[in-house]
Structure 1
Amino acid sequence: MKAVQYRKIGAGPEVVEIDAPEPGPGQIRLRVTAAGLCHSDWFLMDLPEEQYTYGLPLTLGHEGAGVVDKLGAGVEGVALGEAYAIYGPWGCGQCHACSEGRENYCPYAADLGIAPPGLGAPGAMAEYVVVDDRRHLVPLGDLDPVETVSLTDAGLTPYHAIKAVEHKLYPGSTAVVIGVGGLGHVGIQIIRAISAAKVIAVDVSEEKLALASEVGAHHTVVSDAGAADRIRELTDVLGAQTVFDFAGVQPTVDLSKAVVAVDGFVHIVGIGGGVMSAGFFQTPMGAAVRAPYWGSRSELREVLDLARVGAVSVHVERYGIDDAVEAYDRLHHGDVRGRAVVVP
């Protein structure tokens, strides 16, 4: 089968021919119908050799959807031909967090060698993928897999971050969304769908700010030296009750700190490496800073339900698997509007 793999440190992705995987006991093989690209893939591929711990070769793709193609021994409750989205942050399945469906916060996964598909385990950027357990499959129903697959990360991750501070998204409050890329443009829609908060979108790209307006942002602000002042003006000097930084680079982290209100929340979602000092005389009184990770199984179901009623959608650029390297190049250079999806 064809697969998109990272095979050599510093070399970027390649389209290769490999054997199709076979499901073991309790496992399910999917014929992949869609696989999403993510900046996290480039974060991984940009790591120097001494920091890279994900194994080589690595089939990419932690956003995946497909149709059940083959069952391993002992699998029950899953039928051939059914369509599923893959829940990516796999955990041990036994601890307190996993029992609550919050496998994104499993404290044992790393020590047990359990890794998400595409981020250690073979991913969905291929014609077939094996899922380790039926609990990591969420029914797609009649949702279009190509239009939906990115919600497994680009929808689930912002949803998790936003739901955690839903009590701060009250009428009259302000939410600042920094970075209107794959996650940010979905995050804006989620805030609008579940709250009456005013949304201010921030980005360096006028094109992405136009997308922000299309998906529901009330105001857009160019991310430059005057951004903090403009956000303060739009919030009557008080600042924003919630700030969601989907870039996470130092300038955006600094901006988040500059515009969060007293008793507000900053969620640094992007993995750009920015750092914020917090504490007395560092952040506004009562302000909290958090780095949320992915989301729970139940939250993925909720995100897909938002898609079913038309409250959330993803702007998708489609690519064939042979064009995956080009898609990754466009992603790396910030040229993707919304989310890039490979359709094997």
Structure 2
Amino acid sequence: MRTKAYQLVAWQQPAELREVDVREPGPGEVLLKVGGAGACHSDLTLMGIPPGFMPYTLPFTLGHEAAGWVEALGPGVTGFERGEPVLVYGPWGCGRCKPCRQGSENHCERVSELRSHGGGLGRDGSMAHYLLVPSSRLLVPLGSLDPRDWAPLVDAALTPYHAIKRALPQLVPGSTAVVIGVGGLGQMAVQLLRAVSPARVIAVDTSAEKLARAKDLGADATVRSDDRPVEQIRELTRGLGAELVLDIVGVDSTLQLAAGVARTRGQLAVIGLGGGVLPFNFFSIPQECQVVAPYWGTLPELMEVLELAHAGRIRMTVERFPLEQAAEAYKRMREGTLKGRAIITPHG
């Protein structure tokens, strides 16, 4: 079978819509009819990196947030039926090392040997009509949720959830969490904080529209990042700062802001791939403040996020684009004009 796919063909060049072959699934594999493929800002980062920086072999299809319907099962695969809606867990590890066997394929010990991090990250991803998933262990039943709208659970929800869960012991009544950047991923972070913790949530952004949306999704307070944000957040926290700061942007200015509003013994989680640098010395961050770089989340955590979606505790704001308009989705992303998460829907 021949079909279309949005592929990264050359480094530091835009991806291209190309014709590709689709093969039948082999032993243990599952062929997925793609419902939705989330477009992520990290894809823009990937397109812009220089040759040799990543171990990936070109070309490969983009799309590391995937949901769809089971199209065909390879020999030996049981537990799924044709037409069943599923999510695809994003990080594809070896499946055999200790972290992988614990459901933490985002921490696979053999990732350097694999020379990829999953579909859309070195291997063919979901921005195509069909996706070949290497193992049924990576599939999570989606139930009644529409695959065309909920693919971003795999990253846009899972990544902040993983960071928030690390900090839950500190997010007690009276605590504060700050979310810097409330686009598609930041909006999920606000909702997740509201769903799983009693912390007061402060949203920070340059866009009044995005801040209004964050308020609607549960943020207790909003702060414009171009209007004395450190002073405002310090005032809101009685001068103490926040127990958790999620920097969804990751540029120099947001990292500086994050360090300026974190609390002693707090956590500063750098989620955004903006390429910024946080200078470090004894005086650059509060005492005993942890700086972490969360990477995706575990398979059990994805199942927990899915339960929150089924319970109506989190909502997904999306804009759908046909596969032929994938480039337009990334153009809108660069311009900052997306209202939520862009999702490529190859089958309409």
TM-score, with normalisation over the residues of structure 1?
A: 0.97
1:121 corresponds in structure 2 to: 123
SS, match of residue 119 in structure 2: coil
1:142 corresponds in structure 2 to: 144
Could you list the runs of 4 or more consecutive aligned residues of structure 1 that deviate by over 4 angstroms after TM superposition? none
d(CA) in 1 for partners of 2:52, 2:81? 43
1:328 corresponds in structure 2 to: 330
Counterpart check, 1:247 vs 2:245: no
1:306 corresponds in structure 2 to: 308
Residue identity in the other structure for 2:129: E
Deviations for 1:279-337, whole angstroms, at most 9, x for unmatched residues?
53332122111001000000000101100011011110011111111111111222111
> How far has the Cα of 1:52 moved from its partner?
4.5
Please say if residues 4 and 125 of structure 1, whose CA atoms lie closer than 8 Å, have aligned partners that are also in contact: yes
Please say if residues 202 and 223 of structure 2, whose CA atoms lie closer than 8 Å, have aligned partners that are also in contact: yes
> How far has the Cα of 1:9 moved from its partner?
2.7
Deviations for 1:129-160, whole angstroms, at most 9, x for unmatched residues?
01011110000011111221111100000100
2:93 corresponds in structure 1 to: 91
> How far has the Cα of 1:339 moved from its partner?
0.2
Give the count of matched residue pairs: 344
> How far has the Cα of 1:273 moved from its partner?
1.5
In structure 2, relative to structure 1, the CA distance for the partners of 1:51 and 1:203 (3 Å cut) is same
Please say if residues 147 and 313 of structure 1, whose CA atoms lie closer than 8 Å, have aligned partners that are also in contact: no
For 1:23-34, list aligned pairs within 5 A: 23-34=25-36
SS, match of residue 10 in structure 1: coil
1:343 corresponds in structure 2 to: 345
SS, match of residue 326 in structure 1: helix
For 1:56-205, list aligned pairs within 5 A: 56-205=58-207
In structure 2, relative to structure 1, the CA distance for the partners of 1:217 and 1:336 (3 Å cut) is same
SS, match of residue 275 in structure 1: coil
Please say if residues 94 and 111 of structure 2, whose CA atoms lie closer than 8 Å, have aligned partners that are also in contact: yes
Deviations for 1:193-213, whole angstroms, at most 9, x for unmatched residues?
011111100111112111111
> How far has the Cα of 1:177 moved from its partner?
0.2
SS, match of residue 92 in structure 2: coil
SS, match of residue 183 in structure 1: helix
Match for residue 294 of structure 1 among 272, 293, 296: 296
Match for residue 235 of structure 1 among 231, 234, 237: 237
Residue identity in the other structure for 1:249: V
> How far has the Cα of 1:265 moved from its partner?
0.7
> How far has the Cα of 1:56 moved from its partner?
1.7
d(CA) in 2 for partners of 1:108, 1:135? 17
Please say if residues 13 and 48 of structure 2, whose CA atoms lie closer than 8 Å, have aligned partners that are also in contact: no
Q: Which runs of 5+ in 2 are unaligned?
A: none
> How far has the Cα of 1:73 moved from its partner?
2.0
2:266 corresponds in structure 1 to: 264
- The root-mean-square deviation of aligned C-alpha atoms, in Å, is 1.3
Match for residue 48 of structure 2 among 42, 46, 49: 46
d(CA) in 2 for partners of 1:107, 1:250? 30
d(CA) in 1 for partners of 2:104, 2:281? 28
TM-score, with normalisation over the residues of structure 2?
A: 0.96
Match for residue 283 of structure 2 among 276, 281, 284: 281
Counterpart check, 1:210 vs 2:212: yes
d(CA) in 1 for partners of 2:109, 2:308? 29
1:219 corresponds in structure 2 to: 221
